[in-house]
Amino acid sequence: MNDDRVEAVADLGGGVAMPMVGFGTWRLRGNSAYESARYALETGYRHLDTATMYRNETEVGRAIRDSGVDRREVFITTKLPPGNAGRERATIEASLRDLGTDHVDLWLIHWPPGRGASPRVWEQFIQIRDAGLTRAIGVSNYDPAGIDELVRTSGQRPAVNQIPWSIPQYDPRVLAAHRERGVLVEGYSSLKGTNLRDRNITEIAAAHQVEPAQVVLRWHLQHDIAVIPKSSHRDRIESNFALSGFTLDDAEMTRLDGLARH
Ligand SMILES: NC(=O)c1ccc[n+]([C@@H]2O[C@H](COP(=O)([O-])OP(=O)(O)OC[C@H]3O[C@@H](n4cnc5c(N)ncnc54)[C@H](OP(=O)(O)O)[C@@H]3O)[C@@H](O)[C@H]2O)c1
């Protein structure tokens, strides 16, 4: 494995490439959302993760415009709140208005709406993608059975499933299930879900002279899991993106895998 994973992009099909390291924006609101997203873009992030529910699309959009980075170079993800099922078109139009763009790059069903996977919502997603309002579509917080239901009814698979993922949540069976289905796993709450003071992590971090959070994020990338760390601190925004200067060897990967609860 080479050490360029931070520049790595995932092929979502249809010519859509998603940077494997994005910037998470949950709980960032108002000026803090604007400043953090601006700084993330200045640092080099080219993938921003937002959602209708985060109520920061306006600030994220303004940060992109003010950054001077070409819109086409920034991968934007936003999400449909499950309560907006049945109002898909109006919801994405509001997201686009707030973000100040004519399309997003990835639109996710934030959670399965109601019971089941909601093939009717998925049908709307397909139409909205085909109309060009989003370049790719996917889901979040789905299990493989829910993904199978969408594929069975529409013949089209989600490009991505954004799910909680962290070292304690490591489950090779879940990863394999997504891989078999051609669905990219994008992990969320990767830092929050991991004890950054765990001795196994701090020792590996010390050996590479990096922060424990960098070890956690690098571990994800080496498992081909996209990451979207959030921070409102500049030093962390920077270090969470500095993942290319070191590689975890097989023994270190196995040691970290061994911290899983499964
Ligand atoms: N699809 C979904 O249902 C869903 C659910 C949750 C999250 N998400 C997405 O995933 C993103 C990431 O998840 P998350 O925000 O829950 O958690 P996270 O990125 O795992 O962790 C964020 C927390 O870790 C701290 N932190 C960040 N960098 C750090 C570092 N280098 N060292 C120590 N602590 C650090 C942050 O504090 P400071 O800000 O103070 O630095 C914050 O408290 C979200 O922002 C959102 O975009 C999606």
- Kindly report, residue by residue over 71-99, the tens digit of the pLDDT: 999 999 999 999 999 999 999 999 999 99
For position 1, what pLDDT does the model report? 34
- Cβ of 194 closer than 6 Å to ligand 1, yes or no, is no
Strand partners, 162: 140, 186
Structure tokens at 53: 């529910």
**How far apart are the CA of 83 and the centre of ligand 1, in A?**
24
* Cα–Cα distance measured from residue 126 to residue 142, given in angstroms and rounded to the nearest whole number: 17
- Cβ of 189 closer than 6 Å to ligand 1, yes or no, is yes
- Cβ of 216 closer than 6 Å to ligand 1, yes or no, is no
Residues of the chain with pLDDT under 70: 1-6
Strand partners, 139: 109, 161
Give how far Cα 67 sits from Cα of 54, 70, 97, 186, 212, Å: 21, 9, 18, 25, 29
Atom of ligand 1 nearest to the CA of 230: 19
Q: Which amino acid is at 81?
A: P
Q: What is the helix (H) or strand (E) element at residue 99, kind and residue range?
A: helix 88-99
- Cβ of 78 closer than 6 Å to ligand 1, yes or no, is no
- Cβ of 162 closer than 6 Å to ligand 1, yes or no, is yes
For position 262, what pLDDT does the model report? 77
The best mutation among 21, 76, 188, 237 to test binding of ligand 1, ranked by most ligand atoms within 8 Å of the C-beta, falls on 188
**How far apart are the CA of 237 and the centre of ligand 1, in A?**
11
Contact predicate 226/186, CB 8 Å: yes
- Cβ of 191 closer than 6 Å to ligand 1, yes or no, is yes
Atom of ligand 1 nearest to the CA of 212: 32
The best mutation among 28, 36, 231, 235 to test binding of ligand 1, ranked by most ligand atoms within 8 Å of the C-beta, falls on 231
For position 2, what pLDDT does the model report? 39
- Cβ of 229 closer than 6 Å to ligand 1, yes or no, is yes
- Say which DSSP state 21 is in: B
This prediction has a pTM of: 0.97
Q: Of these residues, 39, 45, 54, 142, which one is catalytic?
A: 54
Contact predicate 21/243, CB 8 Å: yes
3-state secondary structure of 170: coil
For position 4, what pLDDT does the model report? 53
pLDDT tens-digit profile of 201-242? 999 999 999 999 999 999 999 999 999 999 999 999 999 999
**How far apart are the CA of 189 and the centre of ligand 1, in A?**
5
188 tagged catalytic: no
Contact predicate 200/256, CB 8 Å: yes
* Cα–Cα distance measured from residue 141 to residue 109, given in angstroms and rounded to the nearest whole number: 9
Phi-psi domain of 217 (left: phi exceeds 0; alpha: psi -120 through 50; beta: other): alpha
* Cα–Cα distance measured from residue 64 to residue 143, given in angstroms and rounded to the nearest whole number: 33
* Cα–Cα distance measured from residue 192 to residue 195, given in angstroms and rounded to the nearest whole number: 8
Contact predicate 217/240, CB 8 Å: yes
